Structures are given as C-alpha cells and as structure tokens.
Amino acid sequence: MSAVQTTTETKTGGSPPSGLSEFWFYFSRNKGAVIGLAFFLVILFVAVFAPFVAPHSPSIQNRELLLLPPVFSEGGSWGHILGTDAVGRDILSRLIYGARFSLFIGLVVVTLSVVSGVLIGLVAGYFRGRVDTAIMRVMDIILAFPSLLLALVLVAVLGPGLLNAMIAISLVNQPHFVRLTRAAVMTEKTKDYVIGSKVAGAGTLRLMFLTILPNCLAPLIVQATLAFSAAILDAAALGFLGMGAQPPTPEWGTMLAEAREFIQRAWWVVTFPGLAILITVLAINLMGDGLRDALDPKLKRS
C-alpha cells in the first residue's frame, strides 16, 4: 500500500490524505458500492436490533392466521406485512431474525477461513520447498471436490446443524485464501524492503507478520468480502438441503426448505426468504467490487 500512497500524494499535492480518506475517495466513486454499503448497514442494524425491530416473535404460531398473504395482495393485513407461513408465524419477523444467522455465519466462516488460510499461505509462501509443495497438494485435494458436495459430506459426518455447516464451509473456503496469500507473499518476499529488513536483522516471525503480511492485505480483503457472501449462499444451500440449520430456526435457507411444499399455493412463503438472501449477498458483492476498485493500484491510475 505504501507505494500506492506515494503516487497519489505526488498527484494531489498539498497535505497527504490519510489512508482512510483516500480509501473512501476511491470507494465512493463506485456508486454501486455505496448503495451496497448502505443496504449492508441496514441489514446489520436490523440484525443487531432484531428484538426491537421485529413486529412479532419469530417462533410464535398464530393458528388462526395460517398462510396469510402479504399486505399488498388480496386478503393481506398490516398486522403481518409479509404474511404468515404454514404454521402462522410472521414471515417478516422470521426474516429479521434470520439476518442474524446469515451475518453470523458469514462472519464466523470468513474469520475461520481467513485466519487459517492466511497462516498456512504465509508459511507456504515464505518457506517454499517441501513444506510449500505438501501444503499446496493438500489444497489441490480440497479443491478437487465441488465445494457444496464436500460441505454436504462433511456435515453428514459431523451431523447436521448450523455449527457443523459453518465448520464445513470454512474448510472448503480456506484454500482460496491459502493460494492468494502464498502468491502475494512470494511476490513481496523478493522485494527490496523485505531484503532490507532482513539485512537489518529482523527475525523470521517479524518478517512474516509485520513486514510482508501488511503488504499482501489488499487482495485478501477483496477475497474476504467474496467469501462472506459465498458463505451466506452455501449455508443457505445446506439449510435448503436440510443439512444446515434445523427447523424451526429462522435461517433463510431452512425457511425456503420448509416452504417448498407450498410453492403452488402460497408464493410469498417461497419468495421472501430467497429475496432476503439475494439482497444481502448482492449488497456484499457490490461492496466487494467497490473494495477491489479502491484497493487495486492498477485500476487507480486509470
């Protein structure tokens, strides 16, 4: 990043912009990214304050109002804006609570796969040789399976459930971070500043974590956003297949699985949970595109 900052500083002149304001300058030029960020903040807010935002409890069943249509279609009422499901639970409230699960899944999966992926990739890229070969072969093996299939089978071994789904998804996501970190470390390692610190007597750990790693972060941040949205999609897919969160958890994929049999009778039970997944994933991907534009020095010059 330091190299990038110097080029922009010379361009703008005057007082050098701080890293954050410089980042915001490029990020905000991408309108989609700003919209994505706004949506994401709303979803985050709703998830954090779910008990205050949700009009009803996500689990209370109203036996008198089964499969009530949403307010804008015939027979709907303001009491249940997005209607109710087959056992009379308020769909909007379930979606609001579901946001907690999806964001939590994304956060846990990204943390697990980034931490493990970066550590392994750093070791592989820094030490090279046999360690590197061994690590990369293991990653090739994980990548030889379709991610969803491997996650499905892992969950079959560990037992269905949200926690196991998260572990499985982290494991199948992590090779991407290993590869990315390794590639970045390999290019950085031969640069003068690294050799400089080495000559100055910096130890291995210092070189790895303090000298090299901060300069490899840009592609990792972009990949982390992509992994965040991919994790939400995969967890929902596992939930949909009945291998993720188990009913009556208001997880969006699980809600879709429960709604499948009402596909011909009650379109809203099927439509809204999927729409929630799509909007959340789309918002995060929009942010990811903006982050890439803001962090990729190649694009900045244009």
Partner 1 sequence: MLRFIVGRLAVLIPTFLGVSLIAFSFIRLLPGDPVMLMSGERVMSPERHTELMQQLGLDRPMYIQYFDYLTGLLTGDFGSSIVTKRPVLDDFLQLFPATLELSLCAIIVAIALGIPAGVLAAVKRGTWLDQSLMGVALVGYSMPIFWWGLLLIIFFSGYLGWTPVSGRISLMYFFPQVTGFMLIDSLISGQAGAFKSAVSYLILPTVVLATIPLAVIARQTRSAMLEVLGEDYVRTARAKGLSPFRVIGVHALRNAMIPVITTIGLQVGVLLAGAILTETIFSWPGIGKWMVDSVFKRDYAVVQGGLMLIAAVIMIVNLVVDLLYGWINPRIRH
Q: Which residues sit at the interface with partner 1, rule CB under 8 A?
A: 32, 137-138, 140-141, 143-149, 152-153, 156-157, 159, 229, 233, 236-237, 240-243, 253, 256, 260, 263-264, 267, 270-271, 273-275, 277-278, 281-282, 285-286, 289
Tokens read off for 56: 């009803």
Q: What angle do CA 69, 75, 77 make, to 5 degrees?
A: 75
Going from the C-alpha of 208 to that of each of 112, 121, 216, the distances in angstroms are 20, 11, 11
Contact 77, 71 (CB under 8 A): yes
Nearer to partner 1, 1 or 275 (CB): 275
Q: How far is the CB of 278 from partner 1 (least distance, A)?
A: 6
**Closest CB 78 distance from partner 1, rounded Å:** 25
Between 60 and 141, CB nearer to partner 1? 141
Instruction: In whole angstroms, give the CA distance from residue 279 to residue 64.
Output: 31
147 vs 211, which CB is nearer to partner 1?
A: 147
Contacts of 200 (CB under 8 A, 6+ apart): none
Q: How far is the CB of 98 from partner 1 (least distance, A)?
A: 13
Residue appearing with tokens 């809600």: 255
Contact predicate 258/86, CB 8 Å: yes
Closest CB 210 distance from partner 1, rounded Å: 33
Query: 77 by DSSP, 3-state: which?
Result: strand
Of 31 and 206, nearer to partner 1 (C-beta) is 31
Residue 36, both tokens? 């994505």
- Contact between 56 and 90 under an 8 Å Cβ cutoff? The reply is yes
- Closest contact distance (angstroms) between CB of 158 and partner 1 is 9
Nearest CB to partner 1, comparing residues 211 and 229:
229
Cβ proximity to partner 1, 212 vs 255, nearer residue: 255
3-state secondary structure of 169: helix
In whole angstroms, the minimum distance from the beta carbon of 153 to partner 1 comes to 6
